[in-house]
Amino acid sequence: MNLLKDYGFRDLLNKYIYIENREVLPILSNYFETPEEATGLLAYCYLEHEKGMSLEVLCCSSFNETAKSIKFYKTNDEARIGLPYTAMLDSSVLILPDNILPLEKFLAKVNPLLTLTNISEGVEKSRKIVAMDHLRKPDNPDAVLVQLVHGDDHIEGHYVLLEDVGEINLTGTLLSEPEFAFGIHQGESLTFFLVRNEKGVMCLAML
């Protein structure tokens, strides 16, 4: 098994994932069947445009490394438990094939999540730009680090929530308030460019 942090967001989105983590089981026992032999949990990974990556707990699970088999315990359709994506980064995981028959019993919990993941065509295009991957926010790949530049005097890095991809530029929403008087504020639309220079690939907004 690989660690969750070893996978890119495209590998994980809308996937069933077994997460080996016994430390969270005492908390989950308040909502799910948690036998002593449980070794982790089954979760569904999804991405909300503004909120970022989430791991929806479906049930507790046991994984047998020798037999390469996994057992799912009872779910709870009344409980919605989401684990922070960044809290699980150092856990070992298995990405499960979508066509495993036992997974069908979790559709009642998974289907409502799909309505939270609807995105515009522009955002969909932005997720395909691999060159920006190292600039994406760890818990939300729809947000990228953009350098706000004012002449040769001032530069600040801020995360921008991607909204659209143009022929030569990108557009997004500024997620934090700049310290310098750039003339743009948190929550406003920002146009920026993906450039390559001696420092590598960067997102720049000339203000």
Predicted structure pTM score: 0.90
pLDDT digits (tens, 9 = 90+) for 108-160: 899 999 888 999 999 999 999 999 999 999 999 999 999 999 877 789 999 99
* Residues in the chain, total: 207
Query: Cα–Cα–Cα angle for 43, 15, 18, nearest 5°?
Result: 40
Q: Identify the band that residue 67 occupies on the pLDDT scale cut at 50, 70 and 90.
A: confident
Tokens of 3: 């660690």
CB 7 within 8 A of CB 15: no
